[in-house]
Structure 1
Amino acid sequence: MVTLLLDSTRLEVVLSGTERLLSFRKGNVVIERPAISKVQLTDDAWTWLRGVPSPGTHVRGIAAMGTWRSAGGDDFAVIRRHRAGVVIDLEGHPEFQRIVITTRHGLALVQALRLDVADEAEAADVTEIAAKATRKPRQKRPASAPVPAAGV
């Protein structure tokens, strides 16, 4: 499963060695934050595929990884099985118009993108960013009164 790193200027889709091999890609996919126009959660990422893999790997219902070329533009996909995912629409990105990935951290990505992470010096996993934002400070419990001993 891909790792999503986010900082104040960019989102990076970090690919494992297997994902790089199957997607025929040497490096990670880097997206500048201003290029992200829309992020959508989806129950089945397969419905968002368009075009043909070029270069990429497609085993129907099992995996789709790589660049997908179509008349509508080039997309990058990392899809495994029929799992929930996220669709990221891009404007002005030099390579892709859309990123389609399966991840269980789609909601965390949406929450992290809404936050201003300017205070983060380096990229952090989106789940960590979302977790920091949703944590509430612990409230101290009031000291309970001592319970009197029975029979005294």
Structure 2
Amino acid sequence: MVTLLLDQTQLEVVLSPLERAASFHRDNVRLVRETITKVQLTDDAWTWLRGVPNPGTHIPGVLAAGTWKAAGSTDFVLIRRRRPGVVIDLTGDEQYRRLILSTRHGLALTQALRLDVSEEPADVEEIVATGSVPIAHGRRRPVIRPRPA
């Protein structure tokens, strides 16, 4: 399972040696934080796959790892079995349009992205445990009720 490190400027997906071999990546995946446009939690990351591995490893239902290429998009994928995951949409990233990862830390990632974090990279679980998640204070929307006939 991947480790997610976050600091003020970037999100780093730390890959184990086995994950590096399966995904054909020599280094960890680093994203500029400003390129992250949307983070979605999913119970079945397999439904988010699009395209074919190039280069990558694909054993249906067991492992999908590497770069997935589809018409007009390139995704980084690391899915193991039927575990919960996270889908990270990117805009303006040089390499990828989307990251699809199996991780149980998806909720912690969404919360940590809302916080001000230090300049030193830290695990998203630690960030959430030590920080407080801001609550949006806005105006409440009026409740629209149908008129009686």
TM-score range, shorter chain: 0.7 to 0.9
What are the ranges of 5 or more consecutive residues in structure 2 without an aligned counterpart?
134-149
Aligned ranges for residues 40-119 of structure 1 at < 5 Å? 40-117=40-117
Letter aligned with residue 93 of structure 1: D
Residue 133 of structure 1: how far off its partner (Å): 2.0
Counterpart CA distance in 2 for 1:121 and 1:72 is 34
1:2-21 matches, cutoff 5 A: 2-21=2-21
CA distance in 1, matches of 2:11, 2:89: 13
Give the distance between the partners of 1:121 and 1:73, measured in 2 at CA: 31
Report the TM-score, using the length of structure 2 for normalisation.
Answer: 0.87
Q: Distance in 1 between matches of 2:43 and 2:35?
A: 24
Q: Residue 74 of structure 1 aligns to a residue in which SS? A: strand
SS in 1 for 2:47: helix
CA distance in 2, matches of 1:124, 1:44: 27
Identity of paired residues, percent? 63
* 1:140 corresponding residue in structure 2: none
| 1:132 and 2:127 matched | no
Gaps of 5+ in 1: 136-152
Amino acid at match of 2:31: I
What CA distance in whole angstroms lies between the structure 2 residues aligned with 1:102 and 1:26? 19
Runs of 4+ in 1 over 2 A off after TM superposition: none
| SS across alignment from 1:46 | helix
SS at match of 1:20: helix
Paired residues in the alignment total 133
Task: Please give the alpha-carbon distance, in whole angstroms, between the structure 2 residues aligned to 1:34 and 1:134.
Answer: 21
Cα distance in structure 1, aligned partners of 2:64 and 2:129: 30
2:122 alignment partner AA: A
* Pairwise CA distance, 1:124: 0.1
Task: Tell me how far 1:121 sits from its aligned partner.
Answer: 2.9
SS at match of 2:73: coil
2:118 aligned with 1:123, yes or no? no
CA deviation string 1:15-63 (max 9, x = no partner): 0000000000110110001000100000110000000000000000000
Q: Do the aligned partners of 2:115 and 2:132 also contact (CA within 8 Å) in 1?
A: no
Over the aligned positions, Cα root-mean-square deviation in angstroms equals 1.1
